[in-house]
A and B are shown apart, each in its own frame.
Chain A
Amino acid sequence: MISFIFLVTIFLIIIGISGVMFKKNLIKIVMSVNIIGAGVNLFLIALGYRSGGVVPIFTNAPGLNMVSPTPQALILTSIVINLAITALLLSLAVLIYKGNKEK
């Protein structure tokens, strides 16, 4: 099961990289960057998975088998950063589009 998730992440990253390399449409490039981001985030979250683990709230379940909380904290940050990059990329794409229209 776990190895299937890793295959999916690698598949997503390869799709994204090929999109960045071969697409000419700016919006499609932004989408491809997002797909790579989703792949890396999925990879990180899959690392923290323990089969049969519970929600990682330490005081509630001290002795039990918990899902690792660190990757969840990491991808929370990483998603926010990806959002910022996407917003900036889209605004630049709009500005380039306007500049092309003027000519």
Chain B
Amino acid sequence: MIHLIILIIAIPLFSAFLLPLIGKLNEKLMKFWVGLTLLLTSFLSIFLYKLILEKGILAYSVGAKFPSLTAPQGFPVRIILIGDALSGFLALFFLFIAFLAFLFSLKILGGYHFLDPVRGQNTLAKAQKKQALLEISKSLTRQISNGVDKFYTLYLLLLVGILGFLFTADLFTLFVFYEINSIATAGLIAFFRNKECFKSAFHYLVVFAVGSLFLLFGVGLLYSEYGFLNMAIIASKIHFSFLDKVALSFIASGLLLKAGIFPFYFWKPEAYNASPVPAIILSIVSSLSALYVLFRISFDVFGLNIVFGEILVLFSVISIFAGVFLALRENNLKRILAYLAISELGYVVLGVSSGFLMSNTEPGLKAIEGGLFHIINDILDVGLLFLIAGVILYISRVRNVFEIRGLAHKHPILAGFFLFGVLAISGMPPLNGFASKIMIYESVFHLSPVLTIMGILGSILVLAVLVKIFTSIFLGAPSEENQDYQPIPKVVIAIVSIFVILMFLIGLFPKQFVTSFISPAAKALISQQNYINSVIY
């Protein structure tokens, strides 16, 4: 039981490197292996969460438990992993989402890059065009099934990066997981082996290589001042010199880049546009875990810093609006959803950072709870929309979604699911988006009423963007090409409906959900002293 935390990270890592070997033997066995790994890790995370709720914060040191065990005077430098109510719950939830995205990836990867050139040649006759499409889709399936073991290897590695973000209590380990995360995501972006994908993968990797070195530079600055790398020990000694502020800005810029909100959102649409849909879901999860680390470091390690909190609130409001306004002028479905994902992340940051600005008050706690609650709803809402975008691309093979008309005639269930997603993401009752956004609006009002107005305005604009898409894709008379569209696999409908059911349940019983899962997590985030005491004994 004591090794649970390290096992949750180690099992997917080990299994990821075994995958290419198993993939050589048998493809079905390989997929079964991935599913087994994800299931096993999810069960372990359930046990871990139960253990955390019973015993409080768990600290696991890799190697000697006390520094004096290694040598008489001992070096106080060890790798420590910490699981508390927040990181345990997030790990549980993220693993569940990763499992669903894995099931989705068995049927649909959601790429269209091979098919696009044919689509553009309008001069071809219709029969010819159909034939060419068929041939290309065959070659696509062949090529993808050749590389699918690499896809799952990178998928599990990205998951390792995310879980490492959640459990690490060590600034240098944070850097290592950041790099694992970046390399795996770059590989997933380049997965379709198309010129456009290679370009966005190169762009992504250059940006994140520089970002990770910024993070390392900030870690080095902190090390130079305190001689420690452990977050809790630094937190107990911190005294806000000028050097600390420089270090905080370097570390925070690295993490904001990974999260992809306001000043550093430029990589997001390109990267999401190129990568397969299940990998996008994991990318959103990795953005959210980077936000978790940002909150941990800026509020637990550096204590309450008013100026930094205000900067975060400013960034969050700008990213809410920047995401929506940039989405308004796009015509590519994946890019639109990527911009909306930026604006949804803004709500998470708005809730938590304004909650810390009002710390030790009733609305402050509620704002933090709302922000953390919105992490869950963000991945459910944006994830659902991305899954449906993947299904639409799979059945229609059209890049520009505004070419599609009247899809609701052929696939009414898809239209219903999309409408659910639209209403949830724009915060309409009784769905889950409303439950968390109303908590954020109510509590942020005590900090400044302007923030509430901005938040509501952002939600309305999200609705405006998505209603436009909904009417143009699903409504209207069906175009004649609709007859060529493929049927939707049944497994995919089941997975998407799991998302919808979860959203509906959370929307109907938000209070129970918040008291049983979110409140312990929020208490774990604000109790800085408990976090420090868990390591120093």
A residues lining the B interface (CB < 8 Å): 13, 17, 20, 26, 29-30, 33, 36-37, 40, 43-44, 47, 58, 62, 68-71, 74, 77-78, 81-82, 84-85, 88-89, 92-93, 95-96, 99-100
B414 within 8 A of A: no
Assess whether A92 is in contact with B216, with CB atoms less than 8 Å apart: no
12 cross-chain CB contacts under 8 A: A17-B210, A20-B206, A30-B206, A40-B213, A47-B223, A58-B75, A70-B75, A70-B223, A88-B205, A96-B202, A99-B195, A99-B198
Cβ–Cβ contact A85 & B223, under 8 A: no
Given contacts A84-B183, A92-B198, is CB(A13)–CB(B217) below 8 Å? yes
CB distance from B359 to the nearest CB of A (A): 33
State whether the Cβ of B199 lies closer than 8 Å to any Cβ in chain A. yes
What 17 additional pairs, Cβ within 8 angstroms, besides A58-B71, A69-B75, A99-B198?
Answer: A13-B217, A17-B210, A29-B206, A30-B206, A37-B209, A40-B217, A40-B220, A43-B217, A47-B224, A70-B229, A81-B179, A84-B179, A85-B205, A92-B198, A92-B202, A96-B199, A96-B202
Binding site secondary structure of chain B: helix
**Beta-carbon contact of A92 and B205 below 8 Å:** yes
**A residues within 8 A CB of B176?**
77, 81
**Contact of A88 (CB < 8 Å), options: B77, B186, B216:** B186
Known A17-B210, A26-B202, A40-B217; contact A71-B223, beta-carbon cutoff 8 A: yes
Contact A44 B198 (CB under 8 A): no
| Shortest beta-carbon contacts, A-B, top 10 | A99-B195, A92-B202, A81-B179, A95-B198, A33-B209, A47-B224, A44-B220, A40-B213, A96-B198, A85-B209
Task: Give every chain A residue within 8 A of B213 (Cβ-Cβ).
Answer: 13, 36-37, 40
Q: B217 to chain A: which residues have CB within 8 Å?
A: 13, 40, 43
Chain A residues, CB < 8 A from B179: 81, 84-85
Q: List chain A residues, Cβ under 8 A from B417.
A: none
Q: Is the CB of B205 within 8 A of A36?
A: no
Are A88 and B206 in touch, CB under 8 angstroms?
Answer: no
B348 an interface residue at 8 Å Cβ cutoff?
no
Decide if A70 touches B183 in the complex (CB within 8 Å): no
- CB A77 to nearest CB in B, in angstroms, measures 6
Tell me which residues across on chain A come within 8 A of B212, comparing CB atoms.
Answer: 81
Residues of A within 8 A of B223 (CB): 44, 47, 70-71
| B183 surroundings in chain A (CB, below 8 A) | 84-85, 88
Among A37, A93, A100, the residue within 8 A (CB) of B202 is A93
- Collect the chain B residues with CB atoms within 8 Å of residue A44's CB: 216, 220, 223
A47 to B218, CA, bound (A): 13
Which residue of B195, B210, B227 is within 8 Å of A96 (Cβ)?
B195
The residue on A at minimum CB distance from B72 is A62
B279 is an interface residue with CB less than 8 A from chain A: no
Give B207's nearest chain A residue, CB to CB: A20
> Which residues of B, 495-528, contact A by the 8 Å Cβ criterion?
none
A68 and B76 CA atoms in complex are apart in Å by 12
